[in-house]
Amino acid sequence: MVTPLSLLILEDSADDALLLVKALQQSGFDPQWQQVETQQDYLAALPKGFDLILADYTLPQFDALQALEILQQSSWDIPLIVVTGSISEEVAVQCMKQGAADYLLKDRLARLGPAVTHALQDRKLLDQKRQAEVALQQNEAKFRCLIQHSTDLITILGLDGTIKYTSPAHKTVLGYQAEDLLGKSVFELIHPDDLIQAVAHLQEIVQTAESHLSRTEFQVLRQDGSWCVLESTGSNLLADPSVSGIVIHSRDVSQRKQAEDLLRHNAFHDQLTQLPNRALFLDRLEQAIHLLKRRDDFSFAVFFLDLDRFKVVNDSLGHQAGDQLLSAIAQRLKFQLRLGDTFARLGGDEFAILLENIRHVSDVTRVADRIQQSLALPFDLNGHEVFTNASIGITLSTPDHKLPEDFLREADIAMYRAKTLGKARYEIFSLGMHEQALALLQLETDLQRAVDSLERVNNQPFELQYQPIVSLETANLIGFEALLRWQHPQRGLVSPAAFIPMAEETGLIVPLGQWVLRQACRQMAQWQRQFPKDVPLSISVNISGRQFAQPDLLDQIKQILVETGLDARSLKLEITESILIENTQLASTLFLKLKALGIQLYMDDFGTGYSSLSYLHHFPVDMLKIDRCFVNSLDNPSQTGREHKSILQTIVMLAQNLGIDVTAEGVETAAQLAQLKAIKCGYGQGYFFSQPISATKATHIIAADRQAKLKHLMTA
């Protein structure tokens, strides 16, 4: 087999050159050759590219050493063998030092073939080595670049956790330069909460040979003092001499953690108040139930808290104000509880509290009292002073096995009981309440049915009774108050105290109240036509807060007046103080419109609520109806009796100064009447004059001119 060979011969003798070619041909080469003699030709030939150069040591104008030097300085990496007639040992050494592949004498040309083969092999090996080096360098550069630009942190640790290497990402992620960290223990950077876990993780990696891919998360201190959550995997490369350490690969997962935490928080917290939600509350309650089963000395209480007038605030001031109020309440109540207690918003205006480690019932009632007291202070909603209260139902843990929902239901029932007993109070659940709750639910269903049947059936389940209002000065009957009665098919007559709050709660008061208004106006219009008088009788109708919040109340009233033909001046609306306080803004505009129509406003049950006389300056009230508890105590010689009497006196005087009339409610005895007359109270209403009576009986009273009889009673 012949080996092709492109050859450059540096030689001044053509014969010698030919000899070289022949020698090569004999050794199995097929040379393509060019002969040059001068430096100039040599330089011109080099770019053609040769496998080999054979150079005579001495030429007339040039020599092999110069040729070698040119080669070394150029990029032509071609093996050069020096061939010469005679050469000293020194020159030979010099040639080799200059980079000659070999040297040989012209009279030993038999060695040329092997020398060329050898030189070409050497070259090939060298090329391969160079290529490998280049590839290695490229690879190294690639990895360095990856590490330099990786957002992941690569840390090499010693067996004991000493930091031996940190990648540049430590600067961007944690803020440290390499020199801040090298030589330190990695554990100095780990959050105390995660330290045990981190040590265990490192040990695990150390014990595992080579790769270990279990992940762990821990918090690491940033240079600025904040904490960063890293997710790490580690490899044990202690045995690898190029690393001899534990390689920790970490990634900053703080943002992902934050998002996860937020999602978890949202799943278990109420967005508005940031309190735990129902799900979390039931979960905590379940834990408490577990504890209850295991520990004899453990007990807990569940509070169910419902705001008493939230709907009114929401309807009158708007949902935004409602939200503000809920947040403010959440904030305020938090301070009344211990750190370990769970305070949750169940939804709407309902909250729940779990008190754990209760020693005595008084622990529970004390908390309930504190809550009531703190809620009694007004809330400021964008300049509106709002009062709210809460009805609280409480249930105490019992050892019988119950579900979290059962406790919550019991507390809810007790809360409902607190509401029916007058709100702004707490009740502790008892078994009897369950029955009562069922009965109440039944009553609610019946009330709904009764209201649905309004105007439809002849035999009305509702009826109005009328109670006379009398002038104490002249003993004249001036009008009646219309009072609603519900004839229940099974229970008989149900008192308004039992069903009016329920009707307010459910909203049934709206259609019911409208019916009352129409019925009362119609009756009074009929009496006025039947018994014309100089000063016509008037009718008082009770209006609840829920009715007041209706935007079309004014239109409804106008329409009823037109429909029944009653003069607006004969209609008096009885409202309670809470309406004013909860709807300050709404109330004042609506009042002015009602007044413009000629309708008078009576303040009902005065003295039982806020009794804020200052309101009387702002609202165009025509009459105060003093609550009967004041009248009751008029013939009571006790301290409270005396106090009530003096309060009554003050109210009457103050009202007179403001041009407001006063009616005393619940006048039952002649003694009370005498006292009321003495302090110049203008009007009275009560069993002493007459109980609330049917329309037919009232007609008789008017017809038979009972005034004479009333007068007789008053002078007796």
State the residues that interact with ligand C2E by CB under 6 A: 467, 483-484, 495-497, 500, 513, 516, 542, 544, 574, 604-605, 628, 665-668, 685-687, 692
Q: How far is the CB of 404 from ligand C2E (least distance, A)?
A: 38
Q: Which is nearer to ligand C2E, 50 or 499 (CB)?
A: 499
| Separation between Cα atoms, residue 631 and residue 648, nearest integer Å | 8
Tokens 């953690």 — which residue? 257
Q: Six-digit token pair at 186?
A: 């990695």
Q: Which is nearer to Mg ion, 245 or 666 (CB)?
A: 666
- Residue range at the interface with Mg ion (CB under 5 A); choices 164-172, 190-198, 455-463, 657-665: 657-665
The alpha carbon of residue 698 and the mean position of all alpha carbons in its chain are separated, in whole angstroms, by 60
Closest to 441 in 3D by CA, of 409, 485, 487, 398: 409
Q: Which is nearer to ligand C2E, 161 or 686 (CB)?
A: 686
Q: How far is the CB of 542 from ligand C2E (least distance, A)?
A: 4
Closest to 72 in 3D by CA, of 47, 91, 49, 100: 100
- Residue range at the interface with Mg ion (CB under 5 A); choices 291-299, 319-327, 542-550, 682-690: 542-550
Q: How far is the CB of 346 from Mg ion (least distance, A)?
A: 34
Closest to 217 in 3D by CA, of 245, 251, 192, 187: 251
Q: Which is nearer to Mg ion, 194 or 574 (CB)?
A: 574
Instruction: Out of 467, 604, 626, 692, name the contact with Mg ion by CB under 5 A.
Output: 604
Using an 8 Å Cβ cutoff, are 99 and 80 in contact?
Answer: yes
Q: Which of residues 317-376 bind Mg ion (CB under 5 A)?
A: none
Contact characters 560-589, Mg ion, x per CB under 5 A: --------------x---------------
Binding at 355: pick from ligand C2E, Mg ion, none (beta carbon under 5-8 Å per type):
none
- The site that binds Mg ion (CB under 5 A) totals a number of residues, namely 5
DSSP state of 495: P
Q: How far is the CB of 452 from Mg ion (least distance, A)?
A: 26
Binding at 496: pick from ligand C2E, Mg ion, none (beta carbon under 5-8 Å per type):
ligand C2E
Q: Is 102 in the site for Mg ion (CB under 5 A)?
A: no
Q: Which is nearer to ligand C2E, 607 or 686 (CB)?
A: 686
Binding at 350: pick from ligand C2E, Mg ion, none (beta carbon under 5-8 Å per type):
none
Q: Is 605 in the site for Mg ion (CB under 5 A)?
A: yes
645-650, long-range: CB < 8 A, 24+ apart:
645/675, 647/607, 648/679, 648/681, 649/679
Cβ neighbours of 497 (radius 10 Å): 9
357-361, long-range: CB < 8 A, 24+ apart:
357/298, 357/299, 357/300, 358/299, 358/300, 358/301, 358/396, 358/397, 359/299, 361/396, 361/428
Q: What H or E segment, with its residue span, contains residue 554?
A: helix 553-564
The neighbouring-strand residues paired with 571 are 539
Binding at 245: pick from ligand C2E, Mg ion, none (beta carbon under 5-8 Å per type):
none
DSSP string, 25-68: HHTTEEEEEEEE-SHHHHHHHGGG--SEEEEESB-SS-BHHHHH
Q: Which is nearer to Mg ion, 52 or 516 (CB)?
A: 516
Q: Which is nearer to Mg ion, 153 or 673 (CB)?
A: 673
Q: Six-digit token pair at 583?
A: 């709807």
Q: Is 412 in the site for Mg ion (CB under 5 A)?
A: no
| Separation between Cα atoms, residue 254 and residue 261, nearest integer Å | 10
Q: How far is the CB of 513 from ligand C2E (least distance, A)?
A: 6
Binding at 544: pick from Mg ion, ligand C2E, none (beta carbon under 5-8 Å per type):
ligand C2E
Using an 8 Å Cβ cutoff, are 318 and 264 in contact?
Answer: no
Q: How far is the CB of 462 from ligand C2E (least distance, A)?
A: 9
Q: How far is the CB of 502 from ligand C2E (least distance, A)?
A: 12
> In 567-631, where do the E strands start and end?
571-576, 600-606, 623-626
Q: How far is the CB of 497 from ligand C2E (least distance, A)?
A: 5
Binding at 497: pick from Mg ion, ligand C2E, none (beta carbon under 5-8 Å per type):
ligand C2E
Using CB under 5 A, list all residues that contact Mg ion. 542, 574, 604-605, 665
